[in-house]
Structure 1
Amino acid sequence: MEAKEYLSQAFRLDNRINSKIDQIALLNDLATKCTSRLTGMPHNPSPGNSQMADAIAKIVDLEAEINRDIDALVDIKCDLVKTIKAVNDIDCQLLLEERYLCYKSWEQIAVEMDFRVRHVYEVHNDALKKVEKILSAQ
């Protein structure tokens, strides 16, 4: 696995978690929109499939999936922190933390580090080379 791909895995997993949270919100909306029809005709008191029950089952499954993903995200971030701390340059460490743990944009990082954006890219390239060496040594 390349350094950039290795460092980006937390961001991708975090996006997947957020997507699942959005799905839960949509399912909650669907479950609360369920309505019953009122007619004078007799009906089966326990219909085979309930839209609300299906939505609730999907919500429970997604919540369990999210919990597993959050556990994986915490593990990945802990691993990333160890790798970033192994980099022997403070500027590289700070840039890697801001970009891959806090998900900040290049412009935000440049402002916080008081660098030009172009210099941030140069430090990033240097940091990736250092991470590659750390990963290849493991």
Structure 2
Amino acid sequence: MKAKEYLHQAYRLDQRINSDIEEIERLRAMATSVSSPNWDEKVSHSRNTNAPFVRCLERIMDLENKINAEVDRLVNLKEQVREVIEKVSNTDEQMVLRYRYIHNLTWEQIGDELNADKSTVRRWHGNALNHVVLPEKPITI
């Protein structure tokens, strides 16, 4: 695994968590909505006797458990990423990595924070990636 791939994992995991949270919100809306009765005649030998909202609530609970586990992994990963970034000796390079991979800022936002143009920020980023030393046991998602 290359340095950039390793550092970028936190961003992807954060996106996954946000996507799961959005799905929970949709499920909560479905669980609280009133569905219309179905007048079609259906014959089923293994009829589900649970109300439709119960399936939504079960799915919500499963997703909440998944999100909690992912948040724990994200916290551990970001802690390890911070340690890796702190080992980069150049302060500008360190700050670019921190803003990019911990705070998920764009190149323009990083430039604004560091009072540098986008090309300088990208140059610092490239140099920083060459100075990153991956941990012996990197956390992977």
User: Which has the larger helix fraction?
Assistant: 1
- The letter of the residue matching 2:10 is A
State the distance in 2 between where 1:53 and 1:98 align: 42
Q: Aligned residue for 2:44?
A: none
State the distance in 1 between where 2:123 and 2:35 align: 59
SS at match of 2:105: coil
Residue 127 of structure 1 pairs with residue 128 of structure 2: yes
TM-score (norm 1): 0.87
SS at match of 2:49: coil
Residue 7 of structure 1 pairs with residue 21 of structure 2: no
Displacement of 1:34 after TM fit?
3.1
Question: What RMSD in Å do the two structures reach over aligned CA positions?
Answer: 1.9
Q: Aligned residue for 2:117?
A: 116
State the distance in 2 between where 1:59 and 1:109 align: 37
8 A contact 1:85–1:93 mirrored in 2 = yes
Aligned-pair identity in percent equals 39
Structure 1: unaligned runs, 5 residues or longer = 40-46
Q: Aligned residue for 1:19?
A: 19
Deviations 1:36-69 (A, max 9, x none): 64x9xxxxxxx61321000000000000000000
SS at match of 1:68: helix
Alignment of 1:1-138 (within 5 A): 1-35=1-35, 37=37, 48-131=49-132, 134-135=133-134, 138=136
State the distance in 2 between where 1:126 and 1:71 align: 31
State the distance in 2 between where 1:35 and 1:127 align: 55
State the distance in 1 between where 2:54 and 2:111 align: 50
TM-score (norm 2): 0.86
State the distance in 2 between where 1:35 and 1:16 align: 30
Displacement of 1:33 after TM fit?
1.0
